[in-house]
Structure 1
Amino acid sequence: MQSLCVFCGASAGHDPIYREATRAFGQTLAEHQIELVWGGGHVGLMGVLADAVHAHRGKSYGVIPEFMAERELAHPFATQMVIVDSMHTRKATMADRAHGFVALPGGLGTMDEFFEILTWAQLHIHHKPVGLLNVKGFFDPLLILIRHMVAEGFVKQVHLDQLYVADTPEALIAAMCLHRQPEGDWLAKVTPDRG
């Protein structure tokens, strides 16, 4: 695991535990020499995360759209900062760079990024691990909803089983480092052989 793309809030939330957990996650990335790939911002939990990686001499790769960079939202201490033309390019660039994905507490943007990357895993567009750092049970309601989708036949259990969930950075990273790509080629099973 050389790099992790982390999705998290541009706000910090009301409870200080979110900042503390994000800071601990950034420190853990640096200690394990895992490059942080993130949206490049310096505000909210995104800023806390990048600050922690920088404070512990880790590497970071930020990807920020030009309109956000122009508003001076880009983190000043990123090891490398890439300015792109759109949110779509931002997400694709982060996905290409990362060896795995983790969502920390956040809002609508975090959920958008998380569900897109989880859907790509479901469709076998990528075979990288996807995880949730479940700080203070933040994602419990979401997990209840996804289990309900499984029970109602809209999501397969195998796809829920591929999601890593832990409440500490060490436990989550350890589990994700054991991730193995599924056997076989799913696309071959649904695409006719053209011979």
Structure 2
Amino acid sequence: MVFKNILKSLSLKSKKLESINSKIIKEKSDTDWRSIYIATFVALISSIQGFSIIPILWPYIKFINPEISEIANGAFQGASALGNAIASIFSGYLVNKTSNTKPALIISRILAIFSTFIYFGIELNSKSAIYLMIAYQLLMGISFGFGNVYRTHIAMATKESERSKGYGLSNLSYSLGTILGPCKFFI
């Protein structure tokens, strides 16, 4: 009788282990690593872009227009933060409603490209440089706000057991961007 109970409990435990193993195998095959690698690479490029421009904004605008005050620098940074906050809320709502991060990520890159053209125009007209810089910073803030949903994409595309690897790649790309962005000043 005791043997039968032990055998039954062992067979039940082995069935549970088999079902857990089959779930783990299915989990590994369901993760879309290709999209995670692409999103992480785009985040790396965005981070490099941001950290290569941010340190030189104030010296650049001061060179273009020497009469500019420090208050303008606060306006630049505030415009970026405001755009980021508004876009983060809106993109979060959009992703929550559609369960799709791709539109927000595409909008992010389009806005970043458009704002770069505004940045190129700052040098052409020194009188309106302040307004162009505020517009650039506002659009870049909006772009970063929409781009932050790549972390949501990682959460949606990975299984729970592999999520830490996805987030690790994401944090690595951001950290590399903060290092590689300003490196151009040392070359």
For this structure pair, what is the TM-score category when the shorter chain's length is used for normalisation? Answer: under 0.3
Larger Rg: 2
Q: TM-score when scaled to structure 2? A: 0.24
Q: TM-score when scaled to structure 1? A: 0.23
Higher RCO, 1 vs 2 (CA within 8 Å, ≥6 residues apart): 2
Q: Which has the higher strand share?
A: 1
